[in-house]
Amino acid sequence: MPETITPAVPPTPPVPLSALLAREDLALRQIAGPSDPDIVIHWAHTSEMADPYPYLLGGELLLTAGVHIPEAAGSGTYFDDYVSRIVAAGGAALGFGLAPVHDTVPRALVAACDTHGLPLLEVPPQTTFSGVARAVWQLMAQARLAELRRVTEAQQSLAAAASRPDPVPSVLRQLAQRLSGHAALYGSDGTEIAGAGREQAQGVQEALSALTAVVRPPGRPTPPPDHEPDGVSRPAPVPTSPTPTSATDTLGDTHLAAYALGAGGGFVLGVASARREPGDHTIASVAAVLLSLLTGEHHSGAGAARSSALVRLLLGSAPEEVAPLVGEGRWVVVHARPESQLPDAVAASALGAALGSPLVDLARDVVRVLVPAEREPVGQPGWTLGVSAAVGPREWPAADTQAARALARARATRAPLVRHGARPGLEDLVPPADAQAHARALLAPLAAQPALAETLRAWLSLHGSWDRTAVALDVHRNTVRQRIARCAALLEADLDDPDVRMELWFALRQR
């Protein structure tokens, strides 16, 4: 007898054999084999081959009218060999059609199906094999629709649970309820951190804990010493295979599953359920993704270090003492403002990701980012940036001031990015608030006529050229002359004086 194979069933929901037998329009009747409600079929296949083994993939309801049966089959081993080959190929059940070849199901076939544990169905004359196949596909479509509805409802409930004040326990409770079992979050050392759902026997808990070790990333090996004793050779590193992201097992009637979370801290989701329903894996995978997001920032190594640094700063530690927790080396401070609107949390996070740093502070109208100096900040579309000099942790407050002044210069000159220079300029020596107050007072006579201030700015930037200013503003050169004369009168200033021009230019840059 050939060895029984595992059916290579298709990725479609199986149909309980009992559901097919319940179809009154088919009038099928089981006359042999087990009546287990867990028996399922994946498709229907018709064959009159004496040896159907090469043509079966597994999980089929094999339909035959007995055309292949020889006249003397009942006195030999024909039926026993025939049924054993179906079972070996992974067939789920056998349907025997009455008429026109056989008026009754051969008794030897009934006995062989009982012997080998293969369900045998009697198909009445009025029921065609194509009708049976159509019924199977209809039941499969109904099962697929029910599975999709169940998965969709579970996704919605898990997402709602993740938004609760206690998201991790809520997700575990919802997952355990959806799978009618037990769900638990395991830490990097294999201990259960949180759990929900039905209590499991001690043996099941131990088996589930052991299964989580299969998907947990291995710990970092202890580094070898810098020097080996004389005469001792260092062994070559042993290559390791990739760690799977999920694993399943069974213990008696209990189904076990483990899912590695992508938090980088070795967290694992473990699930134990009495039955494995279609869609369970998809539902558990959704919960694993949500738990990865919930545990990633707060419990990963980098997130824990940043939290520790914040706590130490709040408790009075100096910046240079906590700097190793967020990274060694020198840093630059970046001040940024979006060009179109005030920044929000999403935009601030995206900017931090683009600059390569998670250390982001969102204020009312500016975003501050602390960036390692080796990651040279570059201009970002839609943002205006001011960048400080590279400093150590002790100089972070001074760098914050430098970045603020660099941002003010960038906005005044309409440049996408300005870096703090080693030699301070005039604007670096005057606090921004004082500079803006001086500019408002000096330019107050022009406040009601924006065209005059814009003309004066363009004229000064082009070194007093009438023609170039007219081209830049798309007006006649006489208009430029009239506007500049009007500015001189309102400001009561000599615009030919270089000191006056310098002061006005500084004020206009602060507008």
214-243 pLDDT per residue, tens: 887 665 333 344 444 444 444 444 444 566
pLDDT band of residue 4 (cuts 50, 70, 90) is: very low
pLDDT cut 90: percent of the chain above it: 32
Angle (CA) 328 334 338, round 5°? 145
Closest CA to 82 of 44, 120, 127: 120
On the question of pLDDT at 195 being above 60, the answer is: yes
Q: Give the tens place of pLDDT for each residue, 255-311.
A: 999 998 865 557 889 999 987 777 888 898 888 888 887 776 444 455 666 667 777
DSSP per residue, 310-367 = HHHHHTT--HHHHHHHH-SS-EEEEEEEESSS---HHHHHHHHHHHT-S-EEE-SS-E
**Confidence check: pLDDT of 97 > 70:** yes
In one-letter notation, the amino acid at residue 405 is R
pLDDT in tens, 119-157: 999 999 999 999 999 999 999 988 888 888 988 898 899
Q: How far is CA 106 from CA 46, 53, 124, in A?
A: 18, 21, 14
Q: How far apart are CA 203 and CA 428, in angstroms?
A: 71
Domain range summary for the chain, segments of one domain joined by +: 15-139, 163-217+244-299, 330-429, 432-510
- What are the Cα distances from residue 149, in Å, to 146, 175, 405? 5, 16, 57
Q: Is 15-139 a CATH 3.40.718.10 domain?
A: no
CATH architecture of 432-510: Orthogonal Bundle (1.10)
CATH of domain 163-217+244-299: 3.30.450.30
